[in-house]
């Protein structure tokens, strides 16, 4: 049975990050007197009791996730959200990636790009690695082909270990191979190798290179006529991770279920991001928006 994480409460701004900064304790309003509780009075209402105060363990950097778990980073949170209505702070644009205020999206590859070229957008901080088990729920919109061009190559979501400036090999590498970690590819070009099944497929990958030029396939599905990934329209994607396995949905349809991430190491720091690329002949514009990532409270 698939595990679905409960979406946490996010602070809603144009770029939202549910966290508190070091030096403050996120006390919860309406907390009863500690002595009254010890005598059998009512418990914390809407918070967690840590010592003689009530705190929000989803945002308190001194009690992150549990009482006494202090974040050396000074940041505690249970989710990230970047709707891309404005250029998001704390996300790093690399290679050909840019922000487009007209379409309110993070553009990984512009339409006029001469290949080979790649672009990535990466969140600036890795998640804390002490208890990180790669369990999260991610939703986002993606689009390829807006404005026309040649159908190639594709884009993806990645959890990688190379850092905020990671940019992988262009073309069939989708801008993410060789960066350490794992990815979900939305591929619109058939390279006829390393798991490519058509010019319209979704796959779960290891970022270890296959034949030196593509991600290593862990699972793939040919979409056929169900949906055209390169139709120039926005599509909704969801990636659910639980205990080192990925499940992927597009437009509400489950495509890949509980695919194991071979070689996954829970203690490694992982950066979250998106990548896109085109080959020597150029290709489609690729972009993302409405990014929302949910996970158990942890240091950021």
What is the rounded average pLDDT of the residues 274-289?
A: 96
Percent of the chain with pLDDT over 90: 66
Q: What DSSP assignment string belongs to 37-100?
A: HHTT----SSSEEETTEEE-TTT-TTSSSSTT---TTSEEEEEEEE--SSPPTTEEEEET-EEE
pLDDT at 170: 96
Bridge partners (DSSP) listed for residue 288: 106, 142
User: For residue range 82-119, what is the model confidence (pLDDT) as tens digits?
Assistant: 999 999 999 999 999 999 999 999 999 998 778 899 99
Phi-psi category of residue 101: left, alpha or beta, with phi > 0 → left and psi -120 to 50 → alpha = alpha
- Residue 133 pLDDT level (bands cut at 50, 70, 90): low
Give the residue, 41 or 77, on which the prediction is more confident.
Answer: 77
Alpha-carbon distance 174 to 74, whole Å?
34
The overall average pLDDT reported for the chain is: 85
pLDDT at 9 over 50: no
Fold classified for 82-295: Jelly Rolls (2.60.120)
Give the residue, 180 or 11, on which the prediction is more confident.
Answer: 180
- Residue 263 pLDDT level (bands cut at 50, 70, 90): confident
Who contacts 19 (Cβ-Cβ below 8 Å, separation ≥6)? 59, 61, 75, 76, 77, 300
pLDDT at 143 over 80: yes
**What angle (nearest 5°) sits at the alpha carbon of residue 15, between those of residues 184 and 131?**
55
pTM value is: 0.85
The helix (H) or strand (E) run that includes residue 38 is: helix 34-38
Closest residue by Cα to residue 297 from 127, 150, 173: 127
Alpha-carbon distance 179 to 176, whole Å?
6
Give the residue, 176 or 50, on which the prediction is more confident.
Answer: 176
User: For residue range 207-228, what is the model confidence (pLDDT) as tens digits?
Assistant: 999 999 999 999 999 999 999 9
User: For residue range 154-186, what is the model confidence (pLDDT) as tens digits?
Assistant: 999 999 999 999 999 999 999 999 999 999 999
Closest residue by Cα to residue 246 from 262, 236, 257: 257
Who contacts 7 (Cβ-Cβ below 8 Å, separation ≥6)? 79, 137, 294
């Amino acid at each position: 049975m698939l595990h679905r994480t409960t979406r946490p409460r996010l602070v809603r701004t144009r770029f939202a990050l549910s966290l508190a900064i070091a030096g403050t304790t996120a006390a919860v309003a309406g907390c009863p007197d500690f002595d009254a509780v010890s005598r059998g009075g009512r418990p914390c209402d809407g918070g967690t009791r840590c010592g003689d105060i009530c705190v929000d363990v989803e945002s308190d950097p001194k009690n992150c996730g549990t009482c006494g778990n202090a974040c050396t980073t000074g940041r505690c949170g249970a989710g990230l959200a970047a709707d891309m209505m404005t250029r998001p702070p704390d996300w790093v644009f690399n290679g050909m990636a840019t922000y487009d205020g007209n379409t309110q999206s993070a553009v990984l590859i512009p339409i006029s790009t001469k290949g080979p070229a790649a672009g990535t957008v990466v969140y600036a901080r890795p998640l804390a690695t002490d208890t990180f088990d790669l369990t999260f729920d991610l939703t986002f919109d993606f689009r390829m082909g807006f404005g026309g061009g040649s159908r190639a190559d594709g884009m993806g979501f990645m959890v990688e270990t190379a850092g905020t400036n990671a940019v992988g090999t262009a073309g069939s590498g989708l801008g993410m191979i060789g960066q350490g970690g794992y990815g979900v590819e939305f591929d619109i070009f058939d390279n006829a190798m390393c798991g490519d099944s058509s010019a319209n497929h979704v796959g779960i990958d290891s970022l270890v290179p296959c034949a030196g030029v593509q991600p290593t396939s862990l699972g793939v599905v040919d979409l056929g006529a169900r949906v055209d990934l390169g139709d120039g329209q926005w599509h909704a994607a969801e990636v659910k991770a639980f205990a080192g396995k990925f499940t992927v949905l597009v437009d509400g349809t489950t495509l890949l279920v509980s695919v194991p991430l071979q070689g996954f190491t829970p203690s490694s720091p992982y950066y979250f991001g998106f990548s896109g690329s085109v080959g020597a002949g150029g290709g489609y514009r690729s972009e993302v928006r409405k990014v929302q990532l949910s996970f158990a409270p942890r240091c950021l």
